[in-house]
């Protein structure tokens, strides 16, 4: 019979036609290709929220504690600003966790004044029971206060190691939790933070141009 010999070429043609018409069906989860040179940034790469502008900031070795040059003239502490002020760019933002002791320093380039150092301090809280008298009645109440161990010092030095400004929390300093130190001259400064038993949310801003 010649029928099988005729059927075999027809089957081959049918297979070839079917393969030529096959097409990959795109899925709903198709990925857009990335062109050469493109990069993506994941905002969750750094959950700590740390910001450090390398054009202005570099980590440095804390200044030796055994030396303490005198303050420059007219280097008083600037209190927290009450009036609205220009929004200067952030060059450093870092959160320091509550530990028994810490010491960190950064070199900061300030091409244009001012440099504004803002530190939000969260001290350890201790509680105790006290006996309170209300008229003829006595009642035990719980009172809280910042721990006597909670301390922070903020020191700004010039290139020669002279203290330009300093402030802090606890000890020799007030218990105000929001600190601001302002430097009104351009230059290169060493920002030094030391303390313990406090958490610190640190932000540093610098001027971006000469103010008119």
| Rounded CA separation 63/157 (Å) | 9
How confident is the model at residue 31, as a pLDDT?
Answer: 41
Position 210 scores a pLDDT of 57
- Per DSSP, the chain holds a count of helices (H) and strands (E) of 1, 12
Taking residue 87's Cβ as centre, other Cβ atoms within 10 Å add up to: 7
Q: How many alpha carbons lie under 13 Å from residue 142 in its C-beta half-sphere?
A: 4
SS3 annotation, 14-52: HHHHHHHCCCCCCCCCCCCCCCCCCCCCCCCCCCCCCEE
What per-residue confidence (pLDDT) applies to 51?
85
Whole-number pLDDT of residue 161: 95
Q: With DSSP H G I counted as helix, E B as strand and the rest as coil, what are the percentages for the chain, rounded to 5? A: 10, 45, 45
Strand partners, 119: 179, 202
What is the structure's pLDDT at 12? 64
pTM over 0.75: no
In the chain, domain spans: 46-207
Residue carrying the six token digits 């910042």:
146
CB 154 within 8 A of CB 103: no
Tens-digit pLDDT profile for the chain (212 aa)? 455 555 566 666 565 555 554 444 444 444 444 444 443 444 455 556 788 888 888 888 887 865 555 554 444 444 444 455 578 999 999 999 999 999 999 999 999 999 999 999 999 999 999 989 988 899 999 999 999 999 999 999 999 999 999 999 999 999 999 999 999 999 999 999 999 999 999 999 999 875 54
pLDDT score recorded for residue 6: 58
One of 3.30.1330, 3.90.930, 2.60.40, 1.10.3470 is the CATH number of 46-207, namely 2.60.40
């Amino acid at each position: 019979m010649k029928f099988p010999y005729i059927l075999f070429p027809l089957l081959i043609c049918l297979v070839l036609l079917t393969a030529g018409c096959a097409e990959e069906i795109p899925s709903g989860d198709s990925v857009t290709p990335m062109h050469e040179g493109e990069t993506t940034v994941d905002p969750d790469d750094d959950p700590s929220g740390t910001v450090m502008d390398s054009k202005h900031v570099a980590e440095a070795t804390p200044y030796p504690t055994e030396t303490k040059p005198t303050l420059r003239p007219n280097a008083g502490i600037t209190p927290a600003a009450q009036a609205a002020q220009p929004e200067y760019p952030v060059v450093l933002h870092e959160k320091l966790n509550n530990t028994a002791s810490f010491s960190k320093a950064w070199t900061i380039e300030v091409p244009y004044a001012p440099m504004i150092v803002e530190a939000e301090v969260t001290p350890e809280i201790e509680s105790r029971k006290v006996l309170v008298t209300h008229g003829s009645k006595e009642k035990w109440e719980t009172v809280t206060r910042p721990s006597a161990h909670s301390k922070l010092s903020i020191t700004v030095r010039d290139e020669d190691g002279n203290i330009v400004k300093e402030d802090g929390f606890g000890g020799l300093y007030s218990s105000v939790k929001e600190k601001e130190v302002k430097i009104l001259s351009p230059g290169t400064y060493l920002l030094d933070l030391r303390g313990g038993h406090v958490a610190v949310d640190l932000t540093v801003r610098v001027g971006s141009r000469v103010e008119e």
